[in-house]
Amino acid sequence: MKMAILGTGDVGKTLGSALIQQGHAVMMGSRTADNESAVGWAAERGERASQGTFADAAASAEVILNCSAGMHSLSILAGIDPADLSGKVLIDVANPLDFSNGFPPRLSICNDDSLGEQIQRAHPDARVVKAFNTMANPIMTAPN
């Protein structure tokens, strides 16, 4: 299956690497097609790994994983052609963490709304699923 990872952080790299190990093709998307972190990750992972922009990754994929920083997820997804999200499963892994007052961060969206709900409202033709956001990334792929 063709998968997209939106984001180049530890979560995206962990999930993307695990998907490649399971035989999937994975494109890691970032703001620029030549993002150093994504280029290095793809080079280390072999022929089933590639990198591009967020839009490139979404366009190429059957399933999209939003592993971007939650405070930026809506703007990242807004930059993708709606046709490239329509009908696709979009797994939202992000947490909208606000670090503006230092550590520990607080959730910028809480109580009567969620990032996943906001993504679904903004992209009603996508099939948004919220998953993995309550666990550390090593456990996401190796729960034992």
- Residue pair 37/7 in contact (Cβ under 8 Å)? The answer is no
How far CA 19 is from CA of 15, 66, 100, 109, 118, in Å, comes to: 6, 14, 33, 29, 26
* Cβ-Cβ contacts under 8 Å for 90 (sequence gap 6 or more): 63, 64, 65, 66, 119, 123, 126, 127, 128, 129
- Rounded Cα distance between 141 and 47, Å, is 21
Task: Judge whether residue 73 has pLDDT over 80.
Answer: yes
Domains in the chain, ordered, with CATH? 2-141 (3.40.50.720)
Q: How many helices (H) and strands (E) does the chain have?
A: 6, 8
Extract the tokens encoding 141: 């792929």
| The pLDDT value given to residue 139 | 87
User: pTM higher than 0.85, yes or no?
Assistant: yes
Instruction: Tell the burial category of 115 from Cβ atoms under 10 Å away from its Cβ (0-12, 13-18, 19+).
Output: buried
| The pLDDT value given to residue 108 | 80
| The pLDDT value given to residue 109 | 80
- Rounded Cα distance between 34 and 53, Å, is 8
Summarised one tens digit per residue, pLDDT across range 103-134 is 888 888 878 889 999 999 999 999 999 999 88
Task: Judge whether residue 8 has pLDDT over 90.
Answer: yes
Percentage of the residues of the chain whose pLDDT score is greater than 90 = 80
Buried b (16+ CB within 10 A) or exposed e, 23-39: ebbbbbbbeebebeebb
| The pLDDT value given to residue 138 | 85
The stretch 47-65 carries a mean pLDDT of 98
